[in-house]
């Protein structure tokens, strides 16, 4: 998923900086990188931090920074599922005496997760239903069971990336660019 943000006033900034012997690209790279880091924290990590345990959210969203070869900055979320026990709130809806459907609570409400719980068991552990090893193991199927997985950070990234987030990122980028542009012009000619 890509979200397009636009920097307005690039040509005017280029002319203003050229007048003092400076280039606009370093200013743009700095603004893009700062915006990507701030957007990751404010628009994604903080809301997901309320749903997921630990500091795993930030690590699951890498920032690919703008540099001299690439004039764009990207947030790349992990598409790997998150173990259901790493969610702060998860539960199940009973379907039969020995089967229950799993769900997790996250920023936008409840979401069904891949797996099941045996509500009649003592531990009520959320098991994964997609294990090929468990099906092939026969008698020792429980030895190969794995914990159920909830939606990935990429899924939550996509749900949090609505029009409001795009407007916020655009506004922040514009402010950061203007701030850096003014500071660079104030330094004077090189």
Percent of the chain at pLDDT exceeding 70:
79
Tokens representing residue 24 in the block? 């606009």
Q: Where are the domains of the chain?
A: 10-79+153-186, 83-150
Q: Which residue has the tokens 């630990």?
A: 54
Tokens representing residue 179 in the block? 């701030």
Number of C-beta neighbours around residue 125 at 10 A? 15
* Contacts for 24 with CB less than 8 Å, ≥ 6 apart: 10, 13, 14, 17, 181
Q: Which residue has the higher pLDDT, 5 or 170?
A: 170
pLDDT for position 190 = 66
pLDDT for position 144 = 55
d(CA 37, CA 31): 10
Q: Which residue has the tokens 């979200």?
A: 3
Supply the pTM of this predicted model: 0.80
């Amino acid at each position: 998923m890509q979200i397009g943000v636009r920097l307005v006033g690039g040509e005017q900034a280029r002319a203003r900086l050229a007048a003092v012997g400076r280039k606009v690209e370093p200013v743009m790279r700095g603004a893009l990188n700062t915006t990507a880091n701030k957007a990751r924290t404010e628009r994604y990590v903080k809301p997901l931090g309320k749903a997921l345990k630990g500091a795993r959210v930030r690590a699951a969203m890498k920032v690919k920074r703008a540099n001299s070869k690439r004039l764009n900055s990207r947030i790349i979320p992990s598409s790997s599922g998150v173990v259901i026990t790493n969610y702060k709130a998860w539960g199940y809806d009973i379907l039969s005496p020995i089967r229950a459907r799993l769900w997790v609570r996250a920023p936008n409400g409840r979401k069904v997760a891949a797996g099941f719980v045996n509500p009649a068991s003592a531990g009520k552990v959320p098991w994964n239903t997609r294990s090929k090893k468990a099906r092939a193991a026969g008698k020792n199927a429980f030895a190969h069971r794995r914990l159920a997985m909830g939606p990935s950070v990429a899924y939550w990234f996509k749900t949090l990336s609505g029009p409001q987030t795009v407007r916020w990122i655009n506004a922040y980028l514009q402010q950061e660019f203007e701030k850096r542009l003014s500071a660079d012009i104030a330094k004077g000619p090189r």
